[in-house]
Structure formats: structure tokens, C-alpha cells
Structure 1
Amino acid sequence: MNIVVGVAGGIAAYKACHLIRDFTEGGDSVRVVPTPTALNFVGAATFEALSGQSVSTSVFDAVDRVQHVDIGQRADAIVVAPATADLIARVAGGRADDLLTATILVATCPVVIAPAMHTEMWLNPATQDNVATLRRRGIMVLEPAQGRLTGSDSGPGRLLEPGQIAQLVRTVVAGYPIAHDWAGKKVVISAGGTQENLDPVRYLGNRSSGRQGFALAELAAQRGADVTVVAGNVEQLPTPAGAKIRSIVSAQQLEEVMGEESADADVIIMSAAVSDYRPRSVAGSKLKKGKADAQLERLDLVLNPDVLAGLVAKRERAEINPAAIIVGFAAETGDAEHSALDFAKAKFQRKGCDLLMANAVGQGKVFGQATNEGWLLRKDVEPTVVEKGSKQVVAAQILDAVAQLMGH
């Protein structure tokens, strides 16, 4: 892909270097177009060394090649990171007074803007009006992260991590634009694996990394939803912008917290990998070799609650929002007589959810991987094949299917 990385004049400009490296290491051709003020933070030589291409800021550079038009015409995507309040205002006003704004004005490819500014500037009505204008025109303005800003300030307005921005851009280029169409919706997503303690050291668990659940949360938040992630054992993943995280360990804790958070939810997504069984009793101290051999060789297990089926039952009893869309996940392996899809179809009928994402799992498949694939199951519709792709791309397909069920 031909990616244009625009850089505005803010302290977060240094993070653009990591974003450029992410794209170039992925095989993309990158052209960096900074604003003149961006070069106060990162020099042109740095951008040229990372991208392997020359850097210009003025519409009067390379006039013989009509550069201020050519760059935008050739781009497969434009991403501006960071985008300051001033840059957003100038783009909203249709300005073309430097090479970056001219490039955006010419472009017909997807344009993604990643804001970075102090909280007061982000929440200012002028900025919010400009953001709304850009989104109405089809430019994708990402929700910023919350966290430490310049100085001692903290709040919404922090630039998303470069890896998050790169993944979102790749999802957009793959054909899944990020519409800001879920404002006012509450979305609850479980993610990661549960753990059932045997003693203070050992537990029963699984290989789930939480990546798919976090990808769903990332995109739901970018679509404007109020997102809560109920997270079990997950990898060190960046928190989705604006999402609230509630941490749990066991399936019983997951059931309790999901019940609390789902009371008024519009969308409930059970992507967590839940342990089917737990030990009947948990040792108060570490089970020692020799003394505990019998206990460890023959575990006494009891069935865990079926959290997904329980949420469906609560919806039927109107204990949670009766109109909530409930999405389940099925991690399956086939056997000599049945395929993973066969088992997933049976699970879909048994659980009673509205949508089921089914995976064929196993060693080196899905769990802990950057990619996912499988089938989407809906009532009265043949399963839809979800081709292998990044977990963000798969998340986009799941959320689009949810949007169809909501009538969007």
C-alpha cells in the first residue's frame, strides 16, 4: 500500500516515528507529510530515514511535479497522527495552505485522523463541531485515548498507541470503514481466558490471549459506543480508547460481573474463553510433590456456570435489557465424525444467542495468534465464512453483523 503519514505540530509527533516503522516493516510504502510546525518536534531527516522518501511541507516544493496534487492522488490511505486541534480545524474548513492539508483535500482514498491534544481542547465545542463535520464528510476521526498528557495533566486527548492506529488503518483499507454510528449504545464484552485455582500457584486455564475481545472493544469504542470490557487472563494489550476495564479471574466471577454490567446493555459479546469446570475445593497452600500426588493425579471437578446461556435466560426473563443483542463464541475442534462447524451449529441452537462466531482451534490456531477465521452463525441464515484476517478485521465483520441485527 501507499500510505501517507501526516504529522501535525504536537508533542506526540515523536510517536509518528513508531507508526512509520510499523507500516514500513509491514511492506508498505510510506510518504511522510509533516506540517511546518511538526518539524519543531521531529526533524525532516528522521522522517526521511524512516520512510526512505523525501519530506516536504510546502505546496511550493516540487511544483514541476504538481506534488500537492500527486501525493494525495497516489495514496491508498492517509493517516494523520498526531492531529492537533488546529490541523482538524483547518481540514474542516477546507484549507489547503500547506502540503498536508492540500494532500487531504485532493484525496479520494480513506482518510484517518488520530487526534492528540489537551482534554480541554478536545472537549471544546469548536473542536467537537469540527470533528462532527469531518465525520459527516466521511473522514474517520478516531477517539483519542485517556491518560497522561503533557505535563501533569491526564484525561481524554492522548494519542492512541502507534500499533493501535496502524491496525485501525489496515482495517479501514481492508474495506471496513469506521462509522461513528454507535453513539449512545452500551456494549459489554468479555475477553481473555478464565482461571480456576487449584492452589495458590496452579490453576486450570486455556490459551486465550484476549486479543479478539480487545479488538471488538477497540472498534466498538471507535464507533462511539460506551464500552465495558470484562477481562480475564489477557496479554499485555493497550486499553481500547475510552473503554472501562473490569478484571475477573474465575468463571463464577465472570458470571457475576457480566450480570451486573449487562443490565442495561444494548450489545453483549461473550468472547471470553470460559473454563467448563473448576476444582470442587481449592487448597490453601501449595500442593507439594509426593504428598499431593493423589490429589493432582485425580482432580475432583464440578461444572462451571454457563455464562452465555445464563445471559440469554436473563434476557428472556427481562432481568436485563430485553432488546439486547447477545453474541457468543465457540472455540471448537472436530472429531472423527463431526467437523468444528457441526459442533458450532449445535452450540448455537443450544445457547439461544443471536449471533455466534465459531472458530476451529488447536495448536497454533486462533488462541494467542494475531489472526482469526471461522464462521458467523445467525438464525435462519446459512453460516457466513469469515476468511483469515487480523483480529481487527474479524471484529469489524462481527460488529457489522450486529449492526444489521440492530437495524443500522
Structure 2
Amino acid sequence: MSNLAQKRILLGITGGIAAYKSIELIRLLTKAGGDVQVVLTEGAKAFVTEMTLQAVSGHPVRSTLLDPNAEAGMGHIELAKWADLIVIAPASADFMARYAQGMANDLLSTLCLATESPVLLAPAMNQAMWKHPATQANAALLSARGVLSIGPADGAQACGDVGPGRMSEPSDIFDAITEHFSAPAASQDLAGQHWVITAGPTMEAIDPVRFISNHSSGKMGYALAQAALHRGAAVTLISGPVQIPAPAGAKLIPVKSADDMLAACATAMTHPADVFIGAAAVADFKMKQASDQKMKKQSNTDELHLTLVKNPDIIAAVAKNNWSKCVIGFAAETQNVIEYAKDKLARKGLDMIIANDVSRADIGFNQDENQVSVITKDALWTPDKATKTTLATELVSLIQQHTHSSH
């Protein structure tokens, strides 16, 4: 029997051309034995009809928050309690923004706030809207609150643009739903452990208005923090400046420079941590002496010469001083990725190193997906390309397996 048999799935449909795909998703879910009820936003009504959705789901379609017939028994609360899972497909940028802010100004947003069941989003929007910092911040905030997501996919869009923003195909969303119901409850096998994770870039001041930095978004480090928290670890997240919120439950220590990050690491690991992950993209160099006043352009030259010195090697210091029982580094390379990573592993005395090719435009810095190689002195793993959230879950499992087998 399908694991969707008798599962109660509330499908929310928001405004967007991808709404037509929801009909196929309902067909797949009901064929597998799922009991599907549909909620439409006002915008969705421009793309799909209530009559069609009622025919394929077998239930009346709801769209009004203050429906006198349904509200006689506080119907919206009953519907929120009814669902085993709420799926929003497509989830528009507008809906994600309202959900992130806790608004409840229509039936669907109210249900999402009133439910204690999991919520799965399948975002769909123009590629520029998806990439906008506001949308990315909303997506990160919802993820940090435990909201699940799939996609968006990359490709041609109805508006003619090409890029990330297409709603995942109904078959892929169906697979994500069946996987959700198949997954065992999260293990709390990291309970009692302290993980310290660095993330994001560092900013090295040139003068009061200029600095040296890099393109790190912090997404990988924050996803690792979320994955470790999910399995019961106490997590200290030491982060350079980023545009995403820290996972709920993490102890966040914001820093700017490499010197700040090193000091924060030393303070956080007065007692050795169980695991240290150096996911931050620490600037290799800093100014020998940062100017305390804004440096002015010189009219007699087209050049500016800066004297730089090496920054402290944070991960080497952690390993050398035994601040953590297990020390894991990252190697962001543009060539000879495996060779350079193995050299860094040995030279810095690390237990494990996670290497990725940042020359690829589809993974790494500022991307939602990543593909890495995980290296120890005895083994090499190459997980498939995946979202950073999915990859983080796999990496935490690999780290736990490695630490368990080495003790």
C-alpha cells in the first residue's frame, strides 16, 4: 500500500502561471491514495478554476477566509488541524513574503499560521524575483523556521527569461511528499554535543568606508548549523556579515574580520567542542595598517598600492590548540580541487575537508546548490549535486559517522 494512503494533504495554490500544474499534482496524490483538499488564493483564480480542482480532488474548493457556512464551526481552524501536510504549489514571491512576516490576511496564510503540521513550499516566480535579496531572505527565514521546500527549478520561463524560478514538476513534488511521509522522525543522536561552525565572508578594513571581502553568502555554513540543530546538537554559529537569518536555536556570534573570528572561536571553545566546521570564507590577507581616515584619490597617479599581510589561519589554530575533538575544513578552489584539498588536510592537521569548485557558476558562492568532495586521510566521498540544505544533512551524517568510527 502507498505511504500516501489516507494521508490528508492540503494543497494551497497561489497566483502564477504554474498553477495549472497543480491539477496534475492532485491527480498523482489522489491516485496514490491521498485525501486532497484545495485552497485557492484570489490570484490563483485567474489561472485555474474551482470547478476543475473540485472535480480532480473530490472535495469542494475553499478560497474565502470568512465563509459564513464554513466559519460556523471555525472552519479554517478545523482545516488547519485536518491536514497531515500543507503543500503550497505554486508558492509565489508575494505569498512567501506574507508567510515570512506572519500575516494572516487570507485563508491560505491563516491556515499556515494555525497549523501544527509541516508545510512544504514549491516556489514559482520570475528568475529576477527569485534572486532578489528580499525573496532570498524570506526563503532563508522560512527554512530556519522549519518550513520545507522543493525547487525552484532552472530553465525557460513563461515570460521568456531563463533561470531559476520554475516550479518543480508535479512528479518531483509528488516524490518529495512521499519521501516526507516515508522519512523516520529526526534522530537526536547529536544531543549533548557542541558544534562550532564558522560561516560567511570576513571583511578586512582598508579605511572606514572600504574593505576586502569575497562573495560568500553563508548559505552552506547556515545550512550545516540547521542540520546539526535538527539532530539535537548545541550549535554556536560564528558568522561574518551575511543577508540571511541564523537558524532558530543557534547561538549566533556576529563578527567582521578574521581577527574577530579567531577571538570568537577561542572564546566559544574554552572547553573543547565536539565538532568544529570552518565553513567561513576567511580573507587570506588584511591591511598591514588600516587607515583611520578615508583614503583620498591622488590626482597625480592612477594607481593605489596597498600593503597586505597574512590573516591568522583560524582552522589551523583550532587544530593546533585542540579546541575541538574533530576539526573539519572547507577548500574553495578553482582548479586541482582534490589535490589542493588533500594538501590542506595534511598541512593543517584536519580530520576532514570538504572541497568544492567555486569556478563553476551553478554551485558554490551565492548559489542555492552545491556539489562537494568529502576527504579524510583514508577516504573520499562525492555526494550528488543538491541544494545546500539537502547537502548539509548528508554532510552532518558523514561527519557523525566519521567521528563515531574514529573513537
Give the corresponding residue for 1:344: 341
The aligned amino acid for 2:317 is: G
Whole-angstrom distance in 1 between the partners of 2:376 and 2:148:
26
Judged with a 3 Å threshold, the aligned counterparts in structure 2 of structure 1 residues 65 and 372 are, in CA distance, closer, same or farther, namely: closer
Summarize deviations over 1:301-335 as a string: whole Å, max 9, x none. Answer: 111111001101111xxxx35xx22211000121x
Offset at residue 48 of structure 1 (A): 6.9
Whole-angstrom distance in 2 between the partners of 1:173 and 1:406:
30
- Paired residues of 1:193 and 1:208 also in contact (CA < 8 A): yes
Whole-angstrom distance in 2 between the partners of 1:306 and 1:26:
53
Structure 2 gap ranges (5+): 30-36, 60-75, 87-101, 103-115, 121-139, 152-174
Q: Does 1:196 align with 2:204?
A: yes
Give the corresponding residue for 1:242: 249
Give the corresponding residue for 2:170: none
Q: Does 1:306 align with 2:295?
A: no
Offset at residue 30 of structure 1 (A): 5.7
Offset at residue 248 of structure 1 (A): 0.6
Alignment of 1:360-375 (within 5 A): 360-362=357-359, 364=361, 365-375=363-373
Summarize deviations over 1:40-87 as a string: whole Å, max 9, x none. Answer: xx97665974995869xxxxx99x9998xxxxxxxxxxxxxxxx9999
Q: Does 1:223 align with 2:224?
A: no
Judged with a 3 Å threshold, the aligned counterparts in structure 2 of structure 1 residues 50 and 256 are, in CA distance, closer, same or farther, namely: farther
Give the corresponding residue for 2:73: none
Give the corresponding residue for 1:95: none
Alignment of 1:46-125 (within 5 A): 49=45, 98=82, 100=83
Give the corresponding residue for 2:213: 205
Alignment of 1:287-298 (within 5 A): 287-290=295-298, 297-298=304-305
What secondary structure does 1:387 align onto?
Answer: coil
What secondary structure does 2:402 align onto?
Answer: helix
The aligned amino acid for 1:249 is: K
Offset at residue 273 of structure 1 (A): 0.1
Q: Does 1:396 align with 2:393?
A: yes
Identity %: 30
Deviation larger for 268-277 or 181-190: 181-190
Give the corresponding residue for 1:93: none
Summarize deviations over 1:273-312 as a string: whole Å, max 9, x none. Answer: 0111111001111111116958x63221111111001101
- Paired residues of 2:10 and 2:39 also in contact (CA < 8 A): no
- Paired residues of 1:199 and 1:287 also in contact (CA < 8 A): yes
Judged with a 3 Å threshold, the aligned counterparts in structure 2 of structure 1 residues 65 and 190 are, in CA distance, closer, same or farther, namely: closer
Give the corresponding residue for 1:233: 241
Whole-angstrom distance in 2 between the partners of 1:161 and 1:268:
24
- Paired residues of 1:167 and 1:392 also in contact (CA < 8 A): no
Alignment of 1:330-341 (within 5 A): 330-334=331-335, 339-341=336-338
Question: RMSD value over aligned CA atoms?
Answer: 4.7
Whole-angstrom distance in 2 between the partners of 1:27 and 1:406:
44
Judged with a 3 Å threshold, the aligned counterparts in structure 2 of structure 1 residues 161 and 252 are, in CA distance, closer, same or farther, namely: closer
Q: Does 1:376 align with 2:374?
A: yes
Structure 1 gap ranges (5+): 8-15, 34-38, 56-60, 68-83, 91-97, 105-116, 118-130, 132-138, 143-159
The aligned amino acid for 1:397 is: E
Summarize deviations over 1:354-398 as a string: whole Å, max 9, x none. Answer: 2211011126341111111120112211x2113221111111121
- Paired residues of 2:240 and 2:254 also in contact (CA < 8 A): yes
What secondary structure does 1:212 align onto?
Answer: helix
- Paired residues of 1:5 and 1:30 also in contact (CA < 8 A): no
Give the corresponding residue for 2:278: 270
- Paired residues of 1:209 and 1:368 also in contact (CA < 8 A): yes
Judged with a 3 Å threshold, the aligned counterparts in structure 2 of structure 1 residues 45 and 380 are, in CA distance, closer, same or farther, namely: closer
- Paired residues of 2:369 and 2:385 also in contact (CA < 8 A): yes
Offset at residue 183 of structure 1 (A): 2.3
Alignment counterpart, residue 266 of structure 2, candidates 248, 259, 263:
259
Offset at residue 403 of structure 1 (A): 1.4
Give the corresponding residue for 1:110: none
Whole-angstrom distance in 1 between the partners of 2:19 and 2:192:
38
Summarize deviations over 1:244-297 as a string: whole Å, max 9, x none. Answer: 211111111111101111333222111000111111001111111116958x63
What secondary structure does 1:229 align onto?
Answer: strand
Whole-angstrom distance in 1 between the partners of 2:40 and 2:340:
56
What secondary structure does 2:247 align onto?
Answer: coil
TM-score, normalised with respect to structure 2: 0.60
- Size of the alignment, in residue pairs? 302
Whole-angstrom distance in 1 between the partners of 2:8 and 2:46:
13
Whole-angstrom distance in 2 between the partners of 1:227 and 1:221:
6
TM-score, normalised with respect to structure 1: 0.60
- Paired residues of 1:232 and 1:247 also in contact (CA < 8 A): yes
- Paired residues of 1:325 and 1:405 also in contact (CA < 8 A): no
Judged with a 3 Å threshold, the aligned counterparts in structure 2 of structure 1 residues 268 and 293 are, in CA distance, closer, same or farther, namely: farther
The aligned amino acid for 1:377 is: I
The aligned amino acid for 1:226 is: A
- Paired residues of 1:222 and 1:241 also in contact (CA < 8 A): no
Judged with a 3 Å threshold, the aligned counterparts in structure 2 of structure 1 residues 290 and 221 are, in CA distance, closer, same or farther, namely: same
